[in-house]
Amino acid sequence: MSARFPHSLSRDEVEDFLKREFPQIAIGRRFVLEDVGPMSARMRLLFNEASLRPGGTISGPSMFALADVTLYVAILAQIGPVALAVTTNLNINFLSRPPAGDLICDCKLLKLGKRLAVGEVFLHAPGVEEPVAHATGTYSIPPG
């Protein structure tokens, strides 16, 4: 961690922050924060009728939301509680039809600069390596 990012939060610290600052993310009800690590995070989207689209598959917007929040969590865990980091770009490829069940999202940060953070995420069914979607995203980090 650079001098500008001296903090690094634990899983519990990130979870507390999200519950306090972003109640609408519904941590523990819609999303579960499974783990954070160096430049990485893992979240789970809990299966829910509302996430479905016809054919019993998870909707695109639900997968987008999962990708976006996991990127945010990975950044947060590295730079500390900066509520105002915002997504500037997200590019998502839908690869195959997800099964009707929970979805895991693994994020790896590719760059953590002073102004921009870039990461990639893989969305996959629990225990299945083959991804159903892949995304890369950029967050803008406000001046410290």
Identify whether the C-beta of residue 139 lies closer than 8 Å to the C-beta of residue 88.
yes
Our CA dihedral for 30, 69, 66, 29, rounded to 10 degrees, sits at -10
Question: What is the pattern of x (binds its own copies, CB under 8 A) and - over residues 94-113?
Answer: xxx-------------xx--
| 46 is an interface residue for its own copies by CB under 8 A | no
Question: Smallest distance, Å, CB 96 to its own copies?
Answer: 7
The residue from 32, 46, 52, 82 that contacts its own copies (CB under 8 A) is 52
Our CA dihedral for 44, 49, 51, 53, rounded to 10 degrees, sits at 140
The residue from 12, 89, 126, 128 that contacts its own copies (CB under 8 A) is 89
Question: Smallest distance, Å, CB 29 to its own copies?
Answer: 14
Question: What is the pattern of x (binds its own copies, CB under 8 A) and - over residues 4-33?
Answer: -----------------xx-x---------
Identify whether the C-beta of residue 131 lies closer than 8 Å to the C-beta of residue 122.
yes
CA distances from 60 to 3, 43, 50, 67, 84 (A): 38, 17, 12, 11, 25
Question: Smallest distance, Å, CB 113 to its own copies?
Answer: 8
CB-nearer residue toward its own copies: 61 or 101: 61
Residues near its own copies (CB under 8 A) are 21-22, 24, 50, 52-54, 59-62, 64-65, 68, 83, 86-96, 110-111, 115-116, 118, 120, 131, 134, 136, 138, 140
